[in-house]
Amino acid sequence: MRQLALLISSLFLFSVGNAQDIHLTQFYTNQQNLNPAMVGMYDGAYRAVGNYRHQWPEINKAITTGMVGFDKKFFFFKDEIDAGILVVNDNFAGFSLNTAKIFLTGAYKKVIKGHELRAGIQMGVVFKSTDLSSQTFPDQWVYQNGIFDPSVYSGEDNLKANQTFFDMNLGAAWSHKFKKFTPTVGFSIFHVTRPKDTYFSTHVERLRTRQSVQVLVDVPINASFSAEPKFMYMWTTKVSDMMLGGNVKYHIKNAMIKNVYLGILYRGGFGRNSDAVAPVAGFHIKNFDIGLSYDLNVSKLSAQSNQKTTFELSIIYTAPIFLPKSIAIPCDRY
């Protein structure tokens, strides 16, 4: 009964997560996945990002998510054009489901009286697959034995194991540096083309649009410390997800490690149960930002999983705009 309850809980939570699309606890680390307008939002020449998420290992087999992204700035007179590529793979081995995405992202930045305005678009292809041979269906339930028998005819002739569709996302962002803090506010909308998303050959099911609001704030406290509050809320139909929290960063002068930070994030929503609390930690070393988080499940699932749920790693490399190999001081000859 315990395993059955755990399985039912996992199916329910997976359906909710699938409706919300692939997302991260450290949502702020992969900005292309968060908001197309935030591509190029960094101080440097170019940026490479990698994320790995290992979720729910206690439920059959873990859900693993990997993302890699690259973006670069191109200056256009006083404005800026940014471009990037994002590759995502999400694998739920326990239920033989796999999703792969390849997206190209573009954004335009304009500064008006110190206000940074951005608009972005993201387009790409989504590949989804499932192993039908490893699944059972209602018609394969043998009442006399109380089990599913895969050798029994399933009655499902209209299923296909693979699907591919085009998808498009849009985003906008605003940022401005005030005297004591710098906020960044973004809004993004996903699946604006409402692509077909179904494994049925005769049934048409279209993805619902997903909206997301993001607020990131940088608050200098003194020469050694700064605070970084973070907020993200996204919703689609009757499903919502919220991340709220932040971290405190300690800046180190004249050292290989430039800063370290500790923080905590809460995942929940409006009109839904609490999901998880995630401690986060990270540091910056030689143009690399490395972050770690671990979700502590506080939902009803925690009674079965003993609060051992999700580990996540993020690595960001930001190349400096100018890094001279040597410094030469010109001297006039007489």
Residue 65, domain CATH:
2.40.160.40
**Residues 101, 164: Cα–Cα separation, whole Å:** 10
Residue that is written with structure tokens 């050798």 in the block: 151
Alpha helix (H) ranges present in 199-334? 302-305
Note the pLDDT of residue 12: 39
Note the pLDDT of residue 13: 39
CB crowding 304-329: b at 16 or more within 10 Å, else e: bbeeebbbbbbbbbbeeeeeeeeeee
**Residues 211, 213: Cα–Cα separation, whole Å:** 7
Q: Is residue 232 part of a domain?
A: yes
Q: One-letter amino acid identity for 276?
A: A
pTM of the model: 0.84
Q: Is residue 332 part of a domain?
A: no
Q: Is residue 28 part of a domain?
A: yes
Total number of domains constituting the chain:
1
Q: Is residue 295 part of a domain?
A: yes
Regions in the chain scoring below 50 on pLDDT: 1-20
In the chain, % of residues over pLDDT 90: 59
Task: List Cβ neighbours of 134 (8 Å cut-off, separation of 6 or more).
Answer: 96
Q: Which tens digits make up the pLDDT trace of 245-266?
A: 999 999 999 899 999 999 999 9
Q: Is residue 334 part of a domain?
A: no
Q: Is residue 331 part of a domain?
A: no
Q: Is residue 328 part of a domain?
A: no
Q: Is residue 326 part of a domain?
A: no
DSSP E strands: which ranges in the chain? Answer: 46-55, 63-76, 79-92, 97-112, 115-130, 141-142, 147-148, 162-176, 182-190, 210-220, 225-236, 239-251, 257-268, 276-285, 288-297, 310-319
Domain that holds residue 262: 2-319
